[in-house]
Amino acid sequence: MSFNDDEAFPRGGHRQKNDTKKENGFKLRTSDTEKQGKDLFKIHSNVSDALQTKEVKSKKRKRFQEEKKQQQKNRKTQHDKDDKEKVTDITRVEQLSYKLITPGMLVLACISEIYDFELRVSLPGGIVGMVSIGNISQAYTDMLHKLTGGNQEDLEDLKSLKDLFHRGQIVRCKVMGITFSDVGKSSVELSINPVDVNEYIGMVGLKHEMVLESCVASVEDHGYVMDIGVKGIHAFLRSTAAAAFIQEYNAGSSLAIGQHVTCLTQLSDAEKRSTDVIRSISLTADPAKVSKAVFEFTDKVGLHSIVPGTIVEAVIKQVVPTGLSVQFLTYTGVVHRTQLRKVGESTKNYTARQKLKAVVLHIHPTSKLVSLSLNKMAFNQFASVTPSRIFPGILVGDKFMNAPVTQVDKGRGVYLKLTDSVHAFASLSHLSDKAGLSAVTPEFSLGSTHKCRVIGYDVMDRVVMVSMKKSILNQQFLRYEDINVGSIVKCEVSKFRPDGLSVKLSGRINGFVPNIHIADVVLKHPEKKFKKGEQIKCRVLVCEPEKHRLLLSNKRSIVETTLPVICSYADALPQMLTEGVIVHICETSLLVVFCNNVKGLVPRSELNRLNIRYPSRVFSVGQVIKCRILQCNVEEQRLTVSLNCAGDNSFQKKIVKVPENFEIGKLVSVEVLSKTDSGLNVKILSSGDAAFLPKSHLSDYIEMCQLLYDAYVPGNRILDCVYHDNSTLLIVSKKKSHVDATQSGLMMSDFGHVQLGMMGAGTLKQVMSYGVFVEFFNSVTGLVPTRLMADQRVTSPSEPYKVGQSLIAKVTDVDTEKRRFLLSLRMKDVFDDSTAPGLDMLANYWNEYDYIRDAHMNDEGLLGQLTRLSVGDIVVTTVAQVAAHGVVCRVGEEVEGLIIRAHLADKACKEGDVLEAVVLHVDMLNRCIELSASPDLIKHMKHLRDNKYGEIKPDQVLKAEVQLINDNFILVSLKGHAMGRLAFLPARKHLNDIVETSQHTIGQINTIVVKRVIGGRVLVALQLQEKKEGRMQVLLERAASHKTDGSKNLHWAAAEVGQTHDAEIISLRDFQANVVIGDAKGRVFISEVVDKLQDGTCPLQGLQIHDVARVRIIGTHDVKTHVHKHLAITQPYRVKTFFDCSLKPSRVEGEGVLTAAELLGYQNDFKKDQRVQAFVDGYHSNCLWVHVTPTVMGKIHRLNLSEDLEVLRNPTQFFALGRGYNATVLGKNNDKLELTFIGKTELAENDVVNAVITKVTPVDIFLQLPFGFHAKSSLPDISDKYKDCIQKKHHEGEIVKCCVLELNSVNMATVSLRLSRYIYIQHKRHMYVCVRV
């Protein structure tokens, strides 16, 4: 059955077959064969029939194509005819308005204001839009995201909006959105991002010499990569093509990322002829070429290829009173009368079919209506279109008495003529104070004159915006420039904000009143005092017109003051009385601010005749105070003021009265009432009197003060406090040292009772370069000079001591006339070698720690998680970061932990590894924990014997291994029967003990004695300290027996230099052992202990107190004994002679008595290349200072310490106090030896040495070499690989290896930092040695 059989039986009845069919909307004839029905399965009988059928089909196809072309031509002709008919129908040209503007519209606009985070843009028709900082360009937005994400790299390329744009700059915008408010105002959101502006162009829309909005995406060596917003297109602006623009319009500065430039596309001849899609394009920013570029017509031009700012050739089709209808390219456009060549020009000056050039102004996205401009300024889009240029001499606020009406637009407003060249426009809303005008009233007819006031500018339409409303004509201010700082203004409350009060001075000027300036007193609910719309009086504090920023004060005392108002530093005259507002309070001063951000400092000495120790308790931020000008430096803008003003006692009402039962040192209990920044407001429980507990007096430990401050809440009771001071405030202290001082007799509270030798507990008050001041009870203060701050030499007082630190000081000198005294903090003056002070301090530390822990036990945050961890807990951690010093791991979700390398047991860790670790310390101040992953320690902790066999009791002697070194304690793991238990060793023996953790190292084994077991914590002491404490009584007994038994005494006059005697060691110092020979005293200096010194050891460590050794007397020295004990006036100098002894076997061994001539003694004459023993004293000024003899010091420059770079980078970690090293003498300088540890003493060519970079320039690096040489390395000798900028790779102070190329005169050298250079030298030397062997 064939397909045509289906026609014989149609469904639903017979259907007549049509003779035509539709294809693509056109009716086509069908062939006769198709009418009869064609059998698709029929096979032609011969080839000729097939060819004949094919020829018929070809003719039909050709006839069909010709008919289709004719129909398309007819349709286009009809379309052009319709367009002409539409042109003739235009009767009015509408100006752009808020009703016509729509999202997606492209508009040519002008920047009127530049703010920190947005641009204010002027559009045609008086419309104002805003461009946010996120709509500048994609590259600029990416840089902002990096900044907000914390990435600080390449931020020097990030410029502010004020650096990228300028007022009057012509830009192309795209309308992103329009918001209409309830009060009838509209806000237009715009974007100048090329991705948005050039969104519709596409790759096929790019043409030769096409004007585009482009933006700098990146800065390259030979030009700039530009963002033109077309996907798949790479645009590049060469430096030569941007040179003219940079020189003429960018002040000669290079373009920056985010900067917008109007560019012209440049296609080569080959690219013009090519039909392929363009992938890259060149641009030019030459102002001459861009301004003259005219868009040419081609067949492929579409409306999407036309953007605002494009210059086209147009022909006028129709002239109407409101504008022109023109034909350009193949499109129809309009020109409003405000965009004609001249301002206020009539359309009668133009005729139909007139040819002219126009600039595309805006394009409607839906109606495709194109508005153009004949404005000459629109043709030169690089020039600044500023109001001062267009409207010279016209300012906002100017009034014109008789301005004639030149044009009337009934639906919008009227045009007026202000001067011969300046026209103005008044909208319907500004014709009268009456609201709801829908059309211009007859009183504003053509030729009528009116009084008006300038309220703004419309630079795109070249008219001034004016108002005829009486309310605006009578307004005091219309712009921020008219407001004077310090003046009184009336304003209206408009809005309440959390940080202050928003007010309005006029319709265009807004101000802000900060919270501290709302009233003289702090208001919790200012909305209850002020009502919206209420009129208030304020004084102008700050006015910044360029930022539209106006700060005001509503304080009655500021507004109604009769004293002079300071608005600049030049206004501040000496001895002038004025009023200011406190904005900042610290313990030593106040900061007072006046108008225009003029700031004055009130030193503590000038606060008041009374000694106000805690200003935060007397003054408050926002308080208005009367002050007197002391001095003012206008150039440096420094102002000093005083509160010592007669008759001003307003702040003294805050001074607390002292209760009757007050007594310095009396124990009291207090209750916390509230908190301030500097301490706690408390109430004495026994009397109910108010008092103050400073934050620094909460603990003897500085780090505990903040933690305790955070732990205390109102209602907490604090027991065992003491009355500390009553000067203007009732001060109490919780320091344990101060509480114990009242019972131990260490309390100094009156200068009249200060005596020589008296000791007292105090607080470090101030650190100076010449010493520190210690404050005792009742503000009694003494000075500790630098020489009496410690047993060792202190070069910088701020390093070992901090303000607020608790100390025990001993009086060494008293000046009753000047009422001052000197103190000593040296351990030998205040410490008796007992272990009790250190254990008491450690016990107090853990008591305070437990209180803090209990206070935060129920917290849900990180601090609460930390408090639920204890020392000795075994936890599972995940490695989060691997660093050089160890690994940072995470316990749970928030707790971070640190495992140092010494506790990893040589484990190779990587991120994500899961480890088992023991908690060593929970650091609540830094919110982290310290852990150990040592397998041995974990094993011992898991197999802890918790029975009677593992019980720890006082006085047990055990071995212990150091696990953790902290500033306040040393954590050790016990051995023997107590294995698996942790104990705490005091890190400080006394409050004055300067912590030296160098005497302990991780993994060190010590013998300890259990002293106390408190709350599950084991407190221990070193057995060596126990021996010293236990034998002190034995020493005293022996001294007494020597005095009673005269036959055993050896008088110092009977001893001779060169003799040998048995001496008993009575004490050990850092650099000497003090000995006694009978009743004669002497010393053994550290250099006289061993003949052969092993580097890094301390010879005195092998000695113990009370040991008896054979010594030889090698000399004597005299000591003045009046120092620190008596005044030089009352008692003259007394000199005692002490023996200098030696323990060296080479000196002691020998028969008979040696004479002084036969003894070498202490050598003071050293020669170059001589080997000596040097003992470390300290490191400062880039030198290691050492003792060679008791009278000879030496120094080793940093570069002469070692050839290891790691040692040179951290010398303080490798050279501990008292350690000895063998050194070589280089020379002598100012009675000090120049030494070296590296062996060689001279510098030679081809030497590979370490050097310190002293200066880095773009082409050279200057270095300091060993042995006093200086060197320079030029660019070819800095690296084997070329580096564009050597400043990024090298920096001042960096230690590098270099090869000496040449030695010049005057200790100058030329060196190379190239790795290949000194590797070659070392290889060459190695080969030379091999050949010699």
- Write down the mean pLDDT value for the chain: 82
- Categorize the per-residue pLDDT at 657 as very low, low, confident or very high, splitting at 50, 70 and 90: low
- Categorize the per-residue pLDDT at 488 as very low, low, confident or very high, splitting at 50, 70 and 90: very high
Tell me if 1127 sits within 8 A of 813, measured CB to CB.
Answer: yes
Greater model confidence, 72 or 428: 428
- pLDDT of 256 strictly over 80: yes
Cα distance between residue 1012 and residue 843, in whole Å: 9
pLDDT mean over 471-496: 89
- Categorize the per-residue pLDDT at 1163 as very low, low, confident or very high, splitting at 50, 70 and 90: low
Task: Return the residue matching tokens 């014989």.
Answer: 8
DSSP type of residue 976: G
**% pLDDT > 70, the chain:** 83
Cα distance between residue 1151 and residue 527, in whole Å: 102
**% pLDDT > 90, the chain:** 28
DSSP-assigned letters across all residues of 722-773 = EEEE-SSS-EEE--HHHHHHHHHT-----GGG--TT-EEEEEEEEEETTEEE
Tell me if 973 sits within 8 A of 1004, measured CB to CB.
Answer: no
- pLDDT of 832 strictly over 90: no
Cβ-based neighbours of 319, under 8 Å, separated by 6 or more: 325, 347, 348, 350, 351, 352
**Largest interatomic CA distance in the chain:** 158
If 0-12 CB within 10 Å is exposed, 13-18 middle and 19+ buried, where does residue 214 land?
buried
pLDDT mean over 582-609: 84
Greater model confidence, 88 or 218: 218
Tell me if 1289 sits within 8 A of 1295, measured CB to CB.
Answer: no
Q: What are phi and psi of 1085, to 5 degrees?
A: -70, 155
Task: Return the residue matching tokens 């052992």.
Answer: 1073
- Token pair for 899: 């495992």
- pLDDT of 1212 strictly over 60: yes
Residue type, 455: I
- pLDDT of 118 strictly over 80: yes
Range among 73-87, 267-281, 615-629 rated most confident: 615-629
CA–CA–CA angle 370, 464, 337 (5° rounding): 35
pLDDT digit string, tens, across residues 843-894: 999 989 988 988 888 888 888 889 889 999 999 999 998 888 889 999 988 8
Give the number of C-alpha atoms closer than 13 A to the C-alpha of residue 1027, restricted to the C-beta side: 13
pLDDT mean over 182-189: 74
pLDDT mean over 228-232: 85
- pLDDT of 1011 strictly over 80: yes
- pLDDT of 1326 strictly over 60: no
Cα distance between residue 601 and residue 641, in whole Å: 6
Greater model confidence, 990 or 1127: 990
- Categorize the per-residue pLDDT at 155 as very low, low, confident or very high, splitting at 50, 70 and 90: low
Q: What are phi and psi of 360, to 5 degrees?
A: -65, 125
pLDDT of residue 19: 45
pLDDT of residue 51: 45
- Categorize the per-residue pLDDT at 29 as very low, low, confident or very high, splitting at 50, 70 and 90: very low
CA 1023 to chain CA centroid, Å, is 49
pLDDT of residue 503: 93
Among 356-370, 997-1011, 1192-1206, the minimum mean pLDDT is found in: 997-1011
pLDDT digit string, tens, across residues 711-723: 999 989 898 899 8
pLDDT of residue 255: 92
- Token pair for 1078: 């009978």
pLDDT digit string, tens, across residues 1278-1293: 887 766 666 677 888 8
- pLDDT of 634 strictly over 60: yes
Greater model confidence, 884 or 806: 806
Considering only CA atoms, which of 1094, 1076, 995, 1096 is closest in space to residue 1036?
1076
pLDDT digit string, tens, across residues 1179-1189: 877 889 899 98
Helix (H) or strand (E) holding 488: strand 488-497
pLDDT of residue 707: 92
- pLDDT of 1063 strictly over 50: yes
pLDDT digit string, tens, across residues 1223-1235: 999 988 877 899 9
pLDDT of residue 3: 38
- pLDDT of 1073 strictly over 60: yes
- Token pair for 1234: 């120049």
pLDDT of residue 86: 45
Sign of the alpha-carbon dihedral angle for 325, 326, 332, 336: negative
